[in-house]
């Protein structure tokens, strides 16, 4: 089954959070089962918001079809940051944001401080 039975004119982009989504994660299962596209980042350990936003923008512009963004954890903040700055919001049909992390918490890992 391609694209989870969705209309093939719509891409489903998976946006994992910090440290990516491992083999048992629901995003990985969706990628394997339905053929959804994971947006790969260069550095999952020390995520730089601007770099992640640029990768999302490049991925969206690489294909004419509109996308459904499926974000988890830090990927939710990525969607919000990208949407606040991009001129290509029309490339996104909808977004599903799951388990948005609290970036204001006192014990935030230093790798996420720039977010």
Mean pLDDT for the chain overall: 95
Q: Report CA-CA distances (Å) from 105 to 34, 97, 110.
A: 35, 19, 11
Its pTM stands at 0.94
pLDDT band for position 2 (50/70/90)? Answer: low
Half-sphere exposure of 4 (CA within 13 A, CB side): 15
CA 52 to chain centre: 9
Please state the rounded mean pLDDT for residues 52-59. 98
pLDDT of residue 8: 82
Rounded to an integer, what distance in angstroms lies between the CA atom of residue 45 and that of residue 7?
A: 34
- Of the chain, the percentage scoring pLDDT greater than 70 comes to 95
Is pLDDT above 60 for 1?
no
């Amino acid at each position: 089954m391609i694209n989870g039975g969705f209309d093939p004119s719509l891409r489903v982009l998976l946006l994992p959070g910090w440290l990516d989504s491992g083999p048992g994660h629901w995003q990985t299962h969706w990628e394997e089962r339905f053929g959804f596209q994971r947006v790969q980042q260069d550095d999952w350990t020390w995520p730089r918001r601007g770099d992640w936003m640029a990768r999302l923008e490049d991925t969206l512009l690489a294909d004419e079809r509109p996308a459904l963004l499926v974000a988890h954890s830090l990927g939710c903040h990525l969607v919000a940051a990208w949407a606040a700055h991009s001129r290509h919001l029309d490339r996104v049909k909808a977004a599903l944001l799951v388990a948005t992390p609290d970036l204001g918490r006192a014990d935030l890992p230093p790798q996420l401080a720039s977010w």
